[in-house]
Structures are given as structure tokens and as C-alpha cells.
Amino acid sequence: MLELPNTSLIEGNLIRWGKTGDGPPLVAIHGTPFSSQVWRNIVPHLTDRRTVYYFDLAGYGQSEMREGQDVSLAVQNKVLSVLFQEWGLERPDVLAHDFGGATVLRAYYLNGLRYRSLTIFDAVALAPWGSPLVQHVRQHEAAFVGMPEYMHLALLHAYLKTAAHHPLSEEALEIYSKPWTGPIGQPAFYRQIAQMDQKFTDEIQDLYGPLDCPVTVLWGESDEWIPCEKGTQLADLISTKGCIPVPGAGHLLQEDHPEAIVSAVLKQVLNEHPID
């Protein structure tokens, strides 16, 4: 498990974060409905070459969860911008998944953040997005919040299992479920779903163009949440390279094939510092 010993107050939210390793900075941004623990099998392979910064998005994981909280994509890029300032980062390498992808793109186009490289995969970035569950929760949030715990856990587990192509281990299922349980976690789970709104990617989609840094786009070939075709479309817009499909992987590439993510980041490192 990754440790998040630090807390910052940003946009009225207590944000938990950690860092480890040695070398140039790399920032890892998770997606929904996950937490920074998605990087637990990836970070250890990067720490001899990078100082890795990771955090839980506002309203996720170990970060603060409270009634009436704004946890939408509108606030997440602001959180990222302030963290860059607190950490003293100007052009770190960036690794982003799902809502993390939307967050780094919003921060680039709206907040002026710049990256030394971007590795982005299975990202929420192009319309249309939002599953039938998302639409239903947005219309009936109170009913979902008030469900008995056993019903909530059944729904939560079923939802999480569809993220991966291979069956999730009991350990992984427990790690990803835990923040969303209990009297604080259950309402928080439906709060973040109810605040999912395509307008936050519509706001920047027309701005997409090649970033001023190397961009690698990976995509789970069997992603049932966001089809691989979206990866191809995104790569055509923001990268000078094509999308790299990962066979045997779903939306949660970190569980299905974490080595593909590690390889993509290390290839970028070797491109900067070729071995003689």
C-alpha cells in the first residue's frame, strides 16, 4: 500500500498525498472510482529513476469527504495546480488515468500547467461519456445514498469488477471498495457519480491539439467503460504518435497489465537519457 502521510488544504478540501523515490519529479493522477492506490504496483518500479508524487483527488480515497462537497472535474484541476505550486514543480513527468486524464488536460488548457512528458491512458476526455448508472444516479442520488449497506456493497463490487478485463483479486476489490463504505464513504460514492458532467470535458475538447511535450496514449483493448476507439481519437488530437492498445486489458490497466504502464514511462526516460 502507498502511504499518504501529508495533508494540504486546497479549495476548501483536505487533500492527502505522498511522495517517494529519487530523481526528476513524476506526478501520478488516478481516476474514478479509485484512489492513489491504483499506483501501488507501479510506483515501486519507478522510484530509482523518479521522485513520484501521488495524491487522492478531492472527495476520493483518504482525502476529505463531506456533505455538500464539490468533487466534480471543475475542482480537480484547481487542486492539481495548487499541488504543483506546493511541490515546487514546473515541468514534471505526468501519469494519468480516467478522470486523472481529464484533470491533467483541463489543467494544461485552463490553468497553464506544463509537463515534461505525459503518459495518459483510458482517459475521460472525449464526448460522449457517462454510463447508464451515472445517468440514473444523477437523477436519483438520494435513493442510492439511502440504500441498505448490503445492497450498496453488492452494487459497488459489481461496478468495480467491470473495470478490469481479468478478475480483480480480493485484495484489490477490498482496497478499491473501502473508501466508499460506511456512513461517510457510501454518500461520497454517489456524490462523485452525481457530479459527473460531460460539460467539463466539452469545455476543453475544442482546444485539443498536440501538447508541447512528448505524449504517450495507452488504452486497454478490452475497455468496457471507454472503448479503445476513443484512445485512437485522443492520440490523433494531442499526440504526435498513435494510440498503443494493450491486449488483454480493460479500463483498469493498472490491474490487468501494470507492466505496460511501467514500460511506457521507462521508455520515455530512456529517450531522454539513451544508454550508450
HEC profile for 2-35? Answer: CCCCEEEEECCEEEEEEEEECCCEEEEECCCCCC
As a whole number of angstroms, the distance between CA 91 and CA 94 comes to 9
pLDDT for 274 equals 47
Contact 39, 47 (CB under 8 A): no
DSSP annotation of 264: H
Tell me whether the omega of the peptide bond preceding residue 227 falls within 30 degrees of 0, making it cis: no
pLDDT value of residue 134? 85
Q: 16, 37 in Cβ contact below 8 A?
A: no
The pLDDT value recorded for residue 272 is 61
Q: Is 150 exposed, middle or buried (0-12, 13-18, 19+ CB in 10 A)?
A: exposed
What CA–CA distance (Å, rounded) separates 98 from 87?
23
Would you write out the chain's pLDDT as a tens digit for each of its 276 residues? 999 999 999 999 999 999 999 999 999 999 999 999 999 999 999 999 999 999 999 999 999 999 999 999 999 999 999 999 999 999 999 999 999 999 999 999 999 999 999 999 999 999 999 888 888 898 999 999 999 999 999 999 999 999 999 999 999 999 999 999 999 999 999 999 999 999 999 999 999 999 999 999 999 999 999 999 999 999 999 999 999 999 999 999 999 999 999 999 999 776 765 444
- In three-state secondary structure terms, 256 is helix
Quote the pLDDT of residue 168: 97
Could you tell me which residues come within 8 angstroms of residue 67 by beta carbon, excluding any fewer than 6 positions away?
A: 187
Q: Which pairing describes strands 6-10 and 25-29: parallel, antiparallel, or unpaired?
A: unpaired
- Angle ∠(157,95,262) on CA atoms, nearest 5: 85
**Residue 26, C-beta contacts closer than 8 angstroms, at least 6 positions apart:** 46, 50, 51, 52, 53, 92, 93, 94, 95, 265
The set of cell numbers assigned to 16 is 492527502
Q: pLDDT tens-digit profile of 183-229?
A: 999 999 999 999 999 999 999 999 999 999 999 999 999 999 999 99
Here the cell at position 265 is 514511462
Give Cα separations from 230 to 124, 189, 203, 227, 244 (angstroms).
9, 26, 18, 6, 12
